[in-house]
Structure 1
Amino acid sequence: MQFYEDLVVGEIHRFGAYAVTREEVIAFASKYDPQPFHLDDAAAAATHFGRLSASGWHTCAMTMAMLVERHRDTGHQGLGSPGVDDVRWLRPVYPGDTLSVETELLEKRRSATKPDRGIFRTATRVFNQDNVMVMSMTSRAMIRTRDPAGTDL
């Protein structure tokens, strides 16, 4: 089980191996981001992408899947997130790519109003199989404390 008290500022973790498939790129884009370069080879070839590419929002969703799997594996006592501070899509993600995630804990603090939880800020970086960073984001999240009374301060 991983609680607020177990988080170490500055710690970096690398994990995940998400295989991007053509079928998933098209299915996601068809439903959520139906731009031609996410749906059609000829349309994509005529753009700066050069070929069919995943939606940036799909990249976010694939990243979230890897984060949730990691949290499940570590017993992370997450309580959701109040939001993402920024997202940057740095390079296209293509069918055939395999994505992985790197997280860095930037800061943490106990909630001022709810001592049963902490709040932390994380830099998340996503890489393809060639170790090229394709996306970055900074976000905040909440996590249960081991000591809900806050007496370990």
Structure 2
Amino acid sequence: MQYFEDIEVGARASFGNYKVTREEVVDFASRYDPQPFHLSDDAAAQTHFGRLSASGWHTCAMVMSMIVENGKRHPSAGLGSPGIDELRWVKPVYPGDTLRCETEVIEKRQSQSRPEMGIFKSRMSVFNQDDVVVMTMVSNGLIATRPAT
């Protein structure tokens, strides 16, 4: 189990292998982001996307799925997140793409008001199968400090 004390600034991780399907792109967009270029090949062809593309919010959801799956393999005393400082959708994500993540811890500090937890900040880049960055974000995580023995 990883605790706050185990996190090192500069630590890097690579994980994920998420295959984007057309069905999932259309289903997500139908429910949460029903813009024509996320729903229709013809409508998307008339835009700068050129073809059907995933919603940026869907890309975030796919990334979250990879984060959770990675957490199952590398358990931590994570306590959720107070939010994201920066989010950029750099390139479109298309059906047929395969996504993966790379992260780097860029800072950490123990909470002043809740000394049983710490806060760490990570920079993440999300790549497609051609190693092209499609999304970046800087996120904050909460994690428990190691229990006293």
TM-score band, normalised by shorter chain: over 0.9
Deviation at 1:35, TM superposition (A): 0.2
Aligned pairs (5 A) from 1:99-118: 99-118=99-118
Q: d(CA) in 2 for partners of 1:18 and 1:93?
A: 12
Percent identical: 61
Over 3 Å counting, the alpha-carbon distance change for 1:68 and 1:48 in structure 2 is same
Match of 2:75 in 1: 75
Q: Which runs of 5+ in 2 are unaligned?
A: none
Distance 2:75 2:83 in 1: 21
Change (3 A) 1:117 1:148: farther
Q: What RMSD over aligned residues (CA atoms) do the two structures have, in Å?
A: 1.1
> Structure 1 residue 123 and structure 2 residue 123: aligned?
yes
- Look up the match of 1:95: 95
SS in 1 for 2:141: strand
- Mapped to 2, the partners of 1:139 and 1:87 lie a distance apart of 9
1:140 maps to 2:113: no
Amino acid at match of 2:68: V
Gap change, CA 1:148 and 1:57, over 3 Å in 2: farther
SS of the aligned residue for 1:109 comes to strand
Whole-Å Cα distance in 1 between the matches of residues 140 and 148 of structure 2?
Answer: 20
CA contact (8 A) 1:117 1:148 kept: no
In the other structure, the counterpart of 2:14 is 14
Aligned residue pair count:
149
Unaligned runs of 5+ in 1: none
Give, in angstroms, the shift of residue 36 of structure 1.
0.2
